[in-house]
Structure 1
Amino acid sequence: MSDPSEKRARAERVAALRPAYRADLATGPARFLGVRRTTCPWCGSGRLSERLRTTDLLQHKPGRFTLDRCADCGHVFQNPQLTEAGLEFYYRDFYDGLGEQRMSGTFGRRTAMYEGRARAMLPYDPAPKTWLDVGTGHGHFCAGARAVLPGTSFDGLDFTDGVELAAREGRVDQAHRGAFPDLAPELAARYDVVSMFHYLEHSTDPDRELRAAHQAVRPGGHLLVEVPDPDSRYARLLGRWWLPWLQPQHLHFIPAGNLRRRLTELGFTVLAEQHAEPHDPVDLLAAVWLALDHAAPREDAPWLPEPPGTPWRALRGALLLAGVPALLTATLLDRLAIRPLAQRLHLANAYRLVARRE
């Protein structure tokens, strides 16, 4: 953001939002967390251990968050979990508001990834007539997928106003706004394909979302699910700097075996499990950036008590500039050295399942 007028406009927006954030944080961020669980939300086991403690490394909103792991099924989950008020607070100004332009630009540039996701369906249904993308955001996947499936009608579903923007921009044919489990009865057996790309990890109840998907997919239709892989070696090697932990937004991390079994129980047949294809080669780059951004003074944000002064802004710029060689090195390692070997080395950061409703 080099345009002085844009900088002034953003500074004014931040100043206007600061009183509301100050009121939200008057009693501290602890109120945004619920009651700590003593059993696994996936299998019910009481054999839990702490997997990770971290903070909000992307927005730097106040708060500390813990991920626990179940010793019996391997499920990793945020514990205690964000309350409804906490979800609203930590999502605010990330995908919309202050963060809308940045995130829209980030997602809008990933056309090759979206086309790859659409091609994953071709061996099982080369010409689906109807496709529902759950958690579609601003609909960028649907827009990119049309190049692969020009005859498919793409609908989007999300609980934010981004899905309505997607409809206005022509990225989706029909927008469904709300919670998927609530909308599923009116969408019953309507779709040849339902996709959930990096959606389940945001859900407060993944099992309820999967049951909604079973309802919306027609018999013989397909479900595509893509989620972070908690068994990736990067999750251990990079610790809190592993981007897919994405605290506090990501609430559940489901091992592939768990998800396969649950889909089978619901009446799906899992046709494919992919690891290399959905791997996004950004782990080292993101880890270096998160560490640099954490070490540098904060840029102004409405949840800060006061805007940082000029010396702090200058110091931030100098530290980030000094980190450019490390960022470039990490990018080259991600794309050229690690990417071809990601699956073999168990470093793939995501997996994808393709399942058919019987």
Structure 2
Amino acid sequence: MRIRPQLADALIALALTSVSAVLGQESGAQGWDPLDAQGYVLVVLAGLPLAMRVRAPLTVLLCSQLAFVAYVASGYWPVVTTFGPMLALYTVASLRPARTAVVCGVLMSGEWVYAGAVSPRSSMASVVSQAAVFTLVLIRFGALARRSNELTRQLRGEQARRARREVAAERGRIARELHDVVAHHMSVISVQAGLAGFVFASDPPTARAALATISGTSAEALEELRRMLQVLREAEDATPGAPMPGLDRMGELVERIRAGGVPVTLRTVGAPRPLAPGVELCAYRVVQEALTNVLKHAGGARAEVQLSYASHALTVSVVNAGPDPGREAVIQDRVRSAGGHGLIGMRERAKLYGGSISIGPRSDGGFAVTLTLPTSAGAVQGEEDASG
């Protein structure tokens, strides 16, 4: 059970006041005037204000020191009321600037010397040395506590900023995934819905084929969204979700784009091999976004997807040839303006997995997206660490 700071200060003040009152009963044995009602009142005034030492450290220090001076001036044993001013000085040093703490320390040392001066049994050399040493120790420990508190606040602030950055990065990742899933499938559905409406009466078989494509595409979109939600709930769900799409599903992606009216060819260069899941997902999403842009902005253009497996890298290229030179500039402008989030997402994915990407028009017409991802053991290990 954690005690609240204000309650802890109140308990400390009560304990110090009780100790001072008990110690005051030994005043007579030490050759000082025994405590009477006035003495006990001054003991209480020197100790109980410490309950507010954090909220008003300077005020508490002044009250405690004034009670100490009045106590000493009344002829009582000075040791009884030293605890309150000492703790108050430590509190000021831990909460206020060093200059303020030094001024308060000089004030307390002067009062300590005054107590030695009015006491016939005190050695001034001993009193002065005690006043200097105790004051310096209290100020030093208070400064260390202040520095520790400042470092703690800085650490908490940095942790909060880091948490906000991580949340923002995670939101960005989720937004890219949602964009890739929703934008692609909705583009296919939109094209097929338009085709079905156009040929509904004149060509029923084509309309039925378009509706079938819409049904399959929407089902796949829902399935990918379910996978994404399972990944987001991974920490809470003991059952792992289905894997995200990879290169083994590239054929299905190409078929959907073909069904949307874009002639697409898929070529593989080199021997296909399993890659890290993150690398395959990155390549799949880049191809998906590139083909979606072709479907949305370059209808009728031919497209070619090529997967090139090298010993330490995977190169993925999506190239489309514009339907005619006159429309090429318009198509490029559309891709840059309407596909802003998609292009940013492709670059961020490539950067995340240590790859490079080139996006832009071709010298002989058309548009090209070329992604190169490292697949070496070190790169894959780094990707797995980032994914975990």
TM-score range, shorter chain: under 0.3
Larger radius of gyration: 2
Higher relative contact order (CA 8 A, sep 6+): 1
Between structures 1 and 2, the one with greater strand share: 1
Query: What TM-score comes out, normalization by structure 2 length?
Result: 0.23
Between structures 1 and 2, the one with greater helix share: 2
Query: What TM-score comes out, normalization by structure 1 length?
Result: 0.25
